[in-house]
Structure 1
Amino acid sequence: MNKLLLRALTMATFLLHVASFAGAEYKIVTASERGTYIKIGQDLAQFVAPSADLKFEVLPSAGSAANVRRLRYDAGVKLALVQSDVYQAFLDIAAGGNVEAKDMIRPLRVIMPLYNEEIYFIVRADSELNYIHEIKNAKIGAGESGSGTALTSATLYRLMFGEPMPPSNTTYLSNEDALIKLVTDKSMDVVAVVAGQPAKLLVDMKPESRKLIKLLKFDPNHATSASVLKTYFAADVLSKNYPNLLASDIPGLAVKAFLVTYDFQFKDTETHLRNMTRSLCQNFSTLQEKGHPKWREVQMALPDLGRGWFYYPPTTREIRSCIAGKTQQALPVKMKPSKNCSQQEQVLGLCTPV
C-alpha cells in the first residue's frame, strides 16, 4: 500500500510539473562563462522568461561572431547577444560580395540595444606601453578566433594604424590562457578583453595583480582616435569596479551590445518573443535592481540603427507599446579557400586562407 501511494504521489508531482509549464524552451547564446553576456542571459532567464511562460537555456560561447553563426544555424537558438562592431562587420563584408556573410546576417533582426561593453588592453605592470595607440607591432592576444573580442581587436588595430594586425604577432586564445602567457613566459605583450564592467575576470583578481598587470589608457586627443571614435565610444573604466587593480578611473573605449534574434515567421515563435518582450518591459525595474549592474545603463528605447540593420517587427511593436505606457534550419554554407582572405573574414570564420 505504501509503495502504491508513493508511486501515485510521484506521478502526480510529475504531471503537476508538466501541466505547470506549457510554454516553450529557447536557447540564448552569450559568451565566456566569466564574462558579462552570460550574466545578462541568466538575468533574462530568471526575471523575464517565467512571466512569458518561457524557459531559457543560457549557453556560453566563443563570443559575438560565433553567436551570429549559431543564431543563424543552430536548432533551438532563438536569441543572441552580439557586439555592434561584429554585426556591422558582417554587414560590411556581405555588402562587399561575401555570399556566406550575406546569408548569415540577412535574416537576423535586432530586438533592442542594451549597453556599452568596455574594451580592455592589458599589459604587464613593467611594460613601457601606457596607451592603446602604442600597441602597433606588439605581440597581441586578440581573443579566441570567432569571438567578438578578436573582431574588435582586429577592427581597432586597422582603424588606428591602417593595416591588419601582423599575423606573426597575433595569437587567438581565451582571455585566461592569454593572461597566463602574458605574465609567465611573456610570449605576449598585450591581451585584449571585451566585457561590460564590472567584468568577473577582472573583479576576481587579487590585490597582488597590480604588481603583475596594468590597463592601457585611451587618449582621445591622439591622432589615431578620431577614426576609432567613428565605430567605438569613449568610456571610463571605474576604479570602484576593480579596486584590486586600479587606484583611479582611467579613460577607455567601449562597444555597444545588442539583443538579437532571427526574422522568425512562425506564429508560435512570434507570440513567444512578443510575450518575452512584454515581460521584459514589465520586469525592467527588477532587472535594474537585482540583475547585473549593466542593466542600469539599458533604456527601453528603439534608436535609429545603422544602414542594413533592422528591428524585429513583433518585438518592436511591444517595445513601442511599452514606451508609450500602454503595457507595464538550414545547413551552413561551406567555407571556400581563398587567396584574398581579409583578417576580418578570417576572424569571423567566413574565409580560409590557402
Structure 2
Amino acid sequence: MLKRLLAGWLGLVALIICSLASAEPTHYKIVTGPERGTYIQIGNDLSKWVAQPANIDLEVLATKGSAENVQRMRYEPGVKLALVQSDVYQAFIDMANSGNPDAGTTIRPLRLIMPLYDEEINVVVRADSPLKTLADIKDKTISVGLLGSGTAQSATTLYRLMFGQPIPEQNVVHLSNEDALAALIVKKIDVAIIVVGQPANLFTGMKPELLSQLRLLPVDPNAPETTRAKQTYFPTTIRQSSYPDWLKEDVPGLTVKAFLVTYDYGLRDTVVNLNHFADSLCANFDNLQEHGHPKWKQVKLELPTLVRGWKYYGPVEKHLRACLANRSAAMSSTAAQQAAPKPHTPCSEQERMLLLCK
C-alpha cells in the first residue's frame, strides 16, 4: 500500500514535470564559486538533473565564493539560488545580531533549501616547508583567498579560533586559488588556505611536476589549537584516493558545511517554480548521486533542525518534507516485505539429492 502511495506521488511529480516540458522555460540564475572549484560543478549538476526537468533554465554563474554569493542572492535580479558555506552564513547573522544594519538587511530575508556536503579546508605549503601541522601556521604569510570568497571567511575565522587573534595584517594575502598555489611554488607566501570539496579540479587538473612541489598540512588532533578550531569546524579526512597522483596517504583535516540558499520569495510564480524545483530535486536525487560530482554521495536528502537565526524556505520545506515522508514510508514497507518469512514450497527431487532442502 505504502509503495503504491509513493509510486502514485512520484507519478504525480512526473506528470507535473512532463506538463511543464511543453511550456516556455523559466530563466533563473545560481551563484556558485570559482571556475575550478566544486561549487560550480554542483551548480551544473543542479541545472542539468533538477532544474531542466522542472522546466527551469538555470544559468550557473562563477563567483569568488560564499560572501559574494550572499550579496548577489540578495540584490541581483534573476539570482534565485546560491551555494553558501555555513560559517559565512553564520558570520552575517552574527554581524546582524551585533547591530550591523547592512548585515541584517542582507541576511534576514535569505532562507535555506537544504544542507549539502562538507567542504575540506586544504592548508597547502611547499613540499620543502619546515611547517609540520596546521598549528604551525601562526605568524606566517598566508593567502586566505579573494575578498568576498568563502575561503577568506573560513581562513580568517579558523586562524582567529586557533590563536585567539586575527592574522597580522602584513601577513594576509588575497589571491585566487590558482594564484596562491603559484605564489607558494615561487616562495612569495608560506601558506595557501583553499576551501574546496574533494576531489577538486584545482588539484586533479594540475601537472604532476607542480603538485610534487606542494603538500598538505595535517591537523594534529591533540593540539590545543585544533580543540579551539572545532568550536566551528569539524574533523575530516582528505583521502589519498581523491588525489592519487599527489597524496601518499590520507591527511587529517577540517571541514565546513555547504548549503543551498534562496530568498523568502512571496510572488506566486516564483513560489510555484521553486516548488517544482523541490519536487524535481526529490524525484531526481538518485540521478544526482549516480551521475553528479562525487560530493553528491555525501549529501543526505534531509532537513535537520537549524541553529537559531537560520530558517528554511517555507514552501520548499513543505514539499521536501512530503517527499521525505513518502520515501521513508516506502523504505519501511520494502524492509517489512523483505523481513517477512517466505512461504514454504516443497523440495524437488533434485534439491533433495543436492542436500539443498532445509
Pairwise TM-score range, normalised by the shorter structure:
0.7 to 0.9
Q: Percent identity?
A: 53
1:252 aligns to 2:215 (yes or no) = no
Question: Is the CA contact 1:209–1:245 (under 8 Å) kept in the aligned structure 2?
Answer: no
Separation of aligned partners in 2, 1:228 and 1:322: 36
Return the letter of the residue paired with 1:305.
L
| Separation in 1, partners of 2:28, 2:66 | 18
Which has the larger helix fraction? 2
In structure 2, the residue matched to 1:349 is: none
Please name the residue that 1:67 is paired with: 69
- 1:210: Cα distance to partner? 4.7
Structure 2: segments with no counterpart, 5+ residues: 1-20, 331-358
Q: Aligned residue for 1:325?
A: 326
Deviations 1:95-130, CA, capped at 9 Å, x for gaps: 111110010000000000000001101000000112
Q: TM-score, normalised by structure 1?
A: 0.85
Q: How many residues align?
A: 310
1:122 aligned onto 2:124: yes
1:291-347 deviations in Å (ceiling 9; x for gaps): 00000011111111111000000110011011101799xxxxxxxxxxxxxxxxxxx
Map of 2:150 onto structure 1: 148
**Structure 2 equivalent of residue 332 of structure 1:** none
Query: Cα distance, 1:259 vs. partner?
Result: 0.1
Residue 206 of structure 1: how far off its partner (Å): 2.8
Distance change >3 Å, CA 117–CA 326, structure 1 → 2:
closer
What is the CA-CA distance between 1:239 and the residue it aligns to? 0.6
Aligned Cα root-mean-square deviation (Å): 1.5
Shift of 1:157: 0.3
TM-score computed with the length of structure 2 as normaliser: 0.84
| Partner Cα distance (1:90, 1:284) in 2 | 30
Q: Choose the corresponding residue for 1:48, options 24, 47, 50.
A: 50
SS across alignment from 2:326: coil
Q: 1:24 aligns with which of 14, 23, 26?
A: 26
Contact 1:206 1:244 in 2 (8 A): no
Q: 1:314 to 1:245 in 2, by over 3 A?
A: same
Structure 1: state its 5+ residue gaps.
1-18, 329-354
Structure 1 CA distance, aligned partners of 2:167 and 2:241?
A: 33
| 1:228 maps to amino acid | A
Separation in structure 2 between the aligned mates of residue 207 and residue 237 of structure 1, nearest angstrom: 18
Structure 2: how far apart are the matches of 1:211 and 1:34?
20
Q: CA deviation at 1:187?
A: 1.5
Q: Distance in 1 between matches of 2:318 and 2:211?
A: 48
Distance 1:38 1:205 in 2: 18
2:200 maps to 1:203: no
What does the per-residue CA deviation read over 1:60-96, in whole Å, with 9 as the maximum and x for residues that have no partner? Answer: 0010000000000001000000000000000111111
Which 4+ stretches in 1 moved above 6 angstroms? none
